Amino acid sequence: MKPEIINVSLTRKLNDLSYPIFVGNNLLSQSKNIIKQFVYDRKVILIHDNFFSEKENSNHNFVDFVKTIKNLSKSINLIGISGGDKTKNISQLNLILEKSLSFEISRDSLIIAFGGGVVGDIAGFASSILLRGLDYIQIPTTLLSQVDSSVGGKTGINSSQSKNMIGSFHQPIAVIADINMLTTLPRREFLAGMVEIIKYGLIKDVSFFEYLEKNHEEILNLDQLKLKNIICMSCKIKSLIVKKDEKENGERALLNLGHTFGHAIESFGKYDGTIIHGEAVSIGICLAFKLSNKLGFCSQIETTRVINLLKILKLPTSLKDISISITTSKMLDKFKYDKKNKNNQLTFILNERIGKSFIKNNMDISVLKKFLDEEI
């Protein structure tokens, strides 16, 4: 299967920017041709998920990839961190920064993030502030990171208040999404990634949503061609949105469908694995559709159709599906930290129908309160 290359092109006032996303099978075990243009003769810091290691009996894609970089680069140093959102914090960031500096990096050094969204977000953020900004490459190894977090340049960490409160916009110079990496991914993590894929259909493309409805069984059975299709389709939708609105001044906020509720739910889980990002967003999407329906924007039939697809995938679809203590007042309190808010007014992403999301500013708190009282 030939790799597909999707270009992310950003038009900026001073410096236009473009970078490739490579999507395909076995890209890492034969990565030399792809990677050499980026790493040749540079000092490389490889920040990787501890799921991968250099031991010979570890994931051979990782072992092969490290060997390739050793051959092509000036030098390579590895920093291993644990996956999971508990790791995405300021003390872990500090360790990465100090360790990277101890390797005597310079402005032409390169960071490579090898792991899921957690490694990608924290390593990307470290790259944006080390020596005031280093190049970095994303090698996403979870479905979620291949279709979402590795693309678009949002980097960051969680604060004790809420998700992703500290961060930067810093675009990678390349993304390499190797579908083969997904064979070791636990089913729960795979399903969490499906949520962000479904999200693209819900925001922008009803025919993509229909494709997912029709083909979900083959996708769950890791049909390589269908997997490649949905990863490419997701990256294309995201890159078109990011192209128009890199810093989220408008349309990019649509990618937040389900995330205002989702981030709040996730933070109540204290990032201990009780609920993971995609699961929280799954509930968040259902709440966003139910709220859209309640406010008269979206029909009951469309709302039920969305909830049904997530239910078929055995994802949580209601606050009643999870065993985390949440109250309406705690939830409303969390919404204050949402980055979409302006002038202390809450903003939500709602839907007119499947394939058409919109930004709803100045959300009425009393309506939200009544809605949440019924849902919790």
- What is the contact surface with ligand NAD in residues (CB under 6 A)? 49, 51, 83-85, 88, 115-119, 121, 141-142, 144-145, 148-149, 152, 154, 163-164, 181, 184-185, 189, 192, 277
To the query of whether residue 236 is one of the catalytic residues in this protein, the response is: no
To the query of whether residue 98 is one of the catalytic residues in this protein, the response is: no
Structure tokens at 368: 């939200």
* Residue 339: closest CA among 243, 237, 255, 234: 255
Question: 59, 158, 256, 293: which one is catalytic?
Answer: 256
To the query of whether residue 263 is one of the catalytic residues in this protein, the response is: yes
What is the smallest separation between the CB atom of 154 and ligand NAD, expressed in angstroms?
Answer: 4
What is the smallest separation between the CB atom of 27 and ligand NAD, expressed in angstroms?
Answer: 13
To the query of whether residue 248 is one of the catalytic residues in this protein, the response is: yes
To the query of whether residue 216 is one of the catalytic residues in this protein, the response is: no
What is the smallest separation between the CB atom of 135 and ligand NAD, expressed in angstroms?
Answer: 17
Identify which of residues 279 and 302 has a Cβ nearer to ligand NAD in the complex: 279
To the query of whether residue 246 is one of the catalytic residues in this protein, the response is: no
Task: Please report the DSSP string for 87-123 in residue order.
Answer: G-SHHHHHHHHHHHHHTT--TT-EEEEEESHHHHHHH
To the query of whether residue 187 is one of the catalytic residues in this protein, the response is: no
Q: Which residue has the tokens 């190894």?
A: 141
Question: 259, 290, 334, 360: which one is catalytic?
Answer: 259
Question: 248, 266, 279, 375: which one is catalytic?
Answer: 248
Q: Which residue has the tokens 């899921």?
A: 116
What is the smallest separation between the CB atom of 292 and ligand NAD, expressed in angstroms?
Answer: 22
Question: 48, 228, 236, 238: which one is catalytic?
Answer: 238
How many angstroms separate the CA atoms of 200 and 217, rounded? 19
Identify which of residues 84 and 368 has a Cβ nearer to ligand NAD in the complex: 84
Q: Is the sign of the CA dihedral 104, 18, 21, 208 positive or negative? A: positive
Identify which of residues 191 and 309 has a Cβ nearer to ligand NAD in the complex: 191
Question: 189, 196, 266, 279: which one is catalytic?
Answer: 196
For the chain, give percent helix, strand, coil, nearest 5: 50, 20, 30
Identify which of residues 68 and 142 has a Cβ nearer to ligand NAD in the complex: 142
To the query of whether residue 12 is one of the catalytic residues in this protein, the response is: no
If DSSP states are collapsed to H, E and C, what string results for 243-304?
Answer: HHCCCCCCHHHHHHCCHHHHHHHHHHCCCCCCCCHHHHHHHHHHHHHHHHHHCCCCCHHHHH
What is the smallest separation between the CB atom of 319 and ligand NAD, expressed in angstroms?
Answer: 19
Structure tokens at 138: 């994303």
To the query of whether residue 259 is one of the catalytic residues in this protein, the response is: yes
How many angstroms separate the CA atoms of 334 and 262, rounded? 11
To the query of whether residue 204 is one of the catalytic residues in this protein, the response is: no
Question: 48, 199, 236, 252: which one is catalytic?
Answer: 252
Identify which of residues 265 and 298 has a Cβ nearer to ligand NAD in the complex: 265
Identify which of residues 43 and 277 has a Cβ nearer to ligand NAD in the complex: 277
Q: Which residue has the tokens 């509930």?
A: 283
How many angstroms separate the CA atoms of 370 and 177, rounded? 43
Q: What is the DSSP pairing of strand 154-157 with strand 166-169?
A: antiparallel
Active site residues: 132, 154, 196, 238, 248, 252, 256, 259, 263, 277
